[in-house]
Structure 1
């Protein structure tokens, strides 16, 4: 059709077709290309495809079905889809495929749709460049994989830190136990003997100061009952446990088969060892706070 013989509708259709960015071709029921747009022709020239740039007269189906190598599977699937649209089994066929070249990687989205009109079968085929979309998808997948890797690494690090913290806590408790045990066995017995010795008033004051400061030093360790147990006598531990359970002095005396005055004596010792100088501080409340 020459420009002079084209109607306004023909000019409009050609203008719209050439304005589209997708590579478009129109084929008949045999797969012969009847028309292509400007984007198709530009692509053919850039890539130096065989034959005329407009490809008119080329059998699209034959090209797809003759594809070999890596393109064979894509060609076969496209040919099957086109035949289904041509026969009326499907109104459209969608397919995305790679089309790499020495210039770089490219992907295209193909859509074939059967024209609805009173006339011979015609199928419009469009190829839209979706390279940017594919590259973005790849970048997102790589990002997701990197994030997953980081999450696994962080989880492993977290587990390792928990193990280290648990070991550190065990080491700390062991150290506290050793310090308290050594103080009880190696220091306080001698301090007690010094207190009973015939010391001068000044010397007795020095011993009292030493005793007080030693107890101040180890007082942080006594914040946990498990550590404090080392510093308590076996019967003091029993009394402390029953006081914590809410037993009265008389009930404790009956349970342990000791005098009630002995229970009072142990309670005073417990208050002293825990540094509860303020009489308003309840011994049971304090013991419960250590649980």
Structure 2
């Protein structure tokens, strides 16, 4: 009785079967491979290939066998193929390179050639008798790479354009800021030289208590318009009311609580109330900090 491990194994150096030597079987084997494959002798004459190779060229294999690259490819491409083949025949071994090949659709496709000299193609004297090769179509990959490069170039151009626009905007904003500063300076100069001096002259004349208070209110409002301090202290960060801003301005200018009350027409108690709110909103309540000194630092 035979045991399971007594199964007879084929000898590793067993001669090939008749099937393996059948050219029709070998051709069917080649035709089942989707990658174009060809083989030729040292004269560059095609000896055979698979169906994928014929389909790539748009020809039947029987129309390719017996021909050279000069018969099936444009002259410029044929010269490249011939030089590469001769280099491979001289050096032997394996050869890989990128190139172009005329496709059945009439366009040139980017391909990678894989070629080699094998023992099957050795002559009786041991010299190389031919080569076998295959090609891999990389046209889609090349187009994708070119598209990616083009997109990167377009992105680079857009980035440079944005940087230039950004620089131009900065210049315009700087110019606008300079123009605004110049305008403010002109307004400030005009007010100080043409308006305030006349107000001082009017104040020197005989005025009733009410007239003097009204004049001081007018002067305070003019100073409010031209005062960067008032603009700064009116920002939402401090959250001061309009009346508190007016009181703060008078405190900064050195007016006493009574003077502020007379100018604004409110009671001293109300002024004290506003002063307390100002200290609280400025964060100096219950601190031994002089309110006028603090306001001057904000100027």
TM interval, shorter chain, is 0.5 to 0.7
Q: Distance in 1 between matches of 2:211 and 2:76?
A: 102
Q: Is residue 32 of structure 1 aligned with residue 49 of structure 2?
A: no
1:211 corresponds to which of 209, 213, 219: 219
Superposed CA RMSD in Å reads: 3.4
2:64 corresponds to which of 55, 68, 74: 55
Query: Between Structure 1 and Structure 2, whose CA radius of gyration is higher?
Result: 2
So what's the TM-score if we normalise by structure 2?
A: 0.63
Is residue 112–residue 136 contact of structure 2 (8 Å, CA) maintained in 1?
A: yes
Question: 5 Å matches for 1:192-207?
Answer: 192-207=200-215
Q: Distance in 1 between matches of 2:110 and 2:172?
A: 51
Please, which runs of 5 or more residues in structure 2 have no aligned partner?
1-16, 124-128, 233-251, 255-289
Structure 1 residues 176 and 116, CA gap change in structure 2 (3 angstroms): farther
Please, which runs of 5 or more residues in structure 1 have no aligned partner?
225-270
Return the offset for 1:164: 0.9
Q: Distance in 2 between matches of 1:186 and 1:153?
A: 48
1:96 corresponds to which of 92, 95, 99: 99
Structure 1 residues 54 and 126, CA gap change in structure 2 (3 angstroms): farther
Aligned partner of 2:141 in structure 1 is: 133
The size of the alignment, in residue pairs, is: 225
Is residue 29–residue 122 contact of structure 1 (8 Å, CA) maintained in 2?
A: yes
Aligned partner of 2:150 in structure 1 is: 142
Return the offset for 1:36: 0.5
Is residue 56–residue 103 contact of structure 2 (8 Å, CA) maintained in 1?
A: no
Q: Distance in 2 between matches of 1:156 and 1:123?
A: 58
1:151 corresponds to which of 152, 159, 166: 159
Question: 5 Å matches for 1:115-264?
Answer: 115-116=118-119, 119-120=122-123, 121-220=129-228
Is residue 33–residue 58 contact of structure 1 (8 Å, CA) maintained in 2?
A: yes
What secondary structure sits across from 1:57 in the alignment?
coil
Q: Distance in 1 between matches of 2:121 and 2:45?
A: 19
Q: Distance in 2 between matches of 1:118 and 1:126?
A: 16
Q: Is residue 83 of structure 1 aligned with residue 86 of structure 2?
A: yes
Q: Distance in 2 between matches of 1:220 and 1:74?
A: 79
So what's the TM-score if we normalise by structure 1?
A: 0.65
Question: 5 Å matches for 1:257-272?
Answer: 272=253
Aligned partner of 2:12 in structure 1 is: none
Return the offset for 1:90: 5.9
